[in-house]
Amino acid sequence: VTAGWLIDPSTQGNRRILLASVPSGELREDHFARDEVAVPSPEAGELLCRNLVLSIDPAARAWMSQRTYRAQLSMGEVMAGYTLSQVVAECHSGYAVGDLVFGQGGWQQFSLARAEDVHPVRRRFDLATHMSTLGITGLTAYFGLVRVGAPKPGATVVVSAAAGATGNVVGQLARVIGCRVVGLAGSDAKLGLLTRLGFDAVVNYRDPGLRSALRDACPDGVDLYFDNVGGPVLATVLSLMNIHGCVVCCGAIAGYDHPENATSPPGIPGILVTRRVRMEGFLVHDYEHEWDAAEEILAGHVSRGEIEPLHQVIDGLDNAPKALIGLLAGANVGKCLVAIAGEVSGRAVRRP
């Protein structure tokens, strides 16, 4: 270890939240367990991170129960999750104690990371904004909309889970690009919020007349659908796609808790041929070498007031399971975050 520690590991444990059982159907508290272990020491090339803010993502539900783009979590493993952390100790890592980094620290107070697996964060806003609009979900919105969807000004963009972490940034960014933006959400409160954020039209996806409401909201049809939900809503929007339209497949939250909603839309591939529609899935990690550039762009929009950061911060690591359960039930508005620790400041202490 090449520098002092910002914490004293002899007086400090590492509280963690683990996968206790594999969920099927609705997620519950008893799918999680808690423990506390010793704070680990970094070896060469590693950093010890004190996790300050934890990102709660719908994808975590999928990581718990199936192989996705990452291996399924195993029983007793620390829950996976993105974190904004402060380096509290390091060993020949190229980072300095005190640095802020973004990484996959998981649902725990402290984590080790290899230097190449974290991104440095240059602080310019509150930490929550760095984890919402400038964080993984903001970047997801950026790359999905701008790089996969690439809508033209004037295009009609529909986004589902529009009051969610990714959706709200997609909608606000599409407005900046000059698109007509239609947001789908599940409550009047969310729809009101979207209108305040500048969405041109909003539709409640629980509306039994969803298709006709959406058709009214999209008099020129749908050019781009940014899909966070899959299931029946995807089927409905597909039926309103314009020729040469595009569906950006970002997630399928509708099916995570409710597999009965995970049905594929009818008419695949027929409707794709007839309307020359492109459906394309993507992961924000495929653009990792461009994250810094995209963050700059998003930071500019935030600074100029063109995109309003939207997040809810829940206090305390122990509340992370409740936060994920609520997120899957549609309770949240904007990015769902858990504050694990207050910001560490002050000078490094000698390692005991």
Residues that bind its own copies (CB under 8 A): 68-69, 227, 230, 234, 243-244, 247, 249-252, 255, 262-283, 286
Residue type, 10: S
Least separation in angstroms between residue 227's CB and its own copies is 6
Least separation in angstroms between residue 125's CB and its own copies is 29
Residue 203 near residue 210, CB atoms below 8 Å: yes
Helix (H) or strand (E) holding 279: strand 278-281
Least separation in angstroms between residue 164's CB and its own copies is 15
Over 191-217, what HEC string results?
Answer: HHHHHHCCCCEEEECCCCCHHHHHHHH
Q: Smaller CB distance to its own copies: residue 62 or 101?
A: 62
Q: Smaller CB distance to its own copies: residue 9 or 251?
A: 251
Strand 180-185 to 156-159 pairing: parallel
Q: Smaller CB distance to its own copies: residue 42 or 265?
A: 265
Q: Smaller CB distance to its own copies: residue 198 or 267?
A: 267
Give, rounded to a whole angstrom, the gap between the first and last alpha carbons of the chain.
Answer: 12
Distance, CA of 287 to CA of 294 (rounded, Å)? 10
Q: Smaller CB distance to its own copies: residue 25 or 94?
A: 25
Strand 119-120 to 156-159 pairing: unpaired
Distance, CA of 272 to CA of 286 (rounded, Å)? 25
Least separation in angstroms between residue 247's CB and its own copies is 8
Least separation in angstroms between residue 155's CB and its own copies is 17
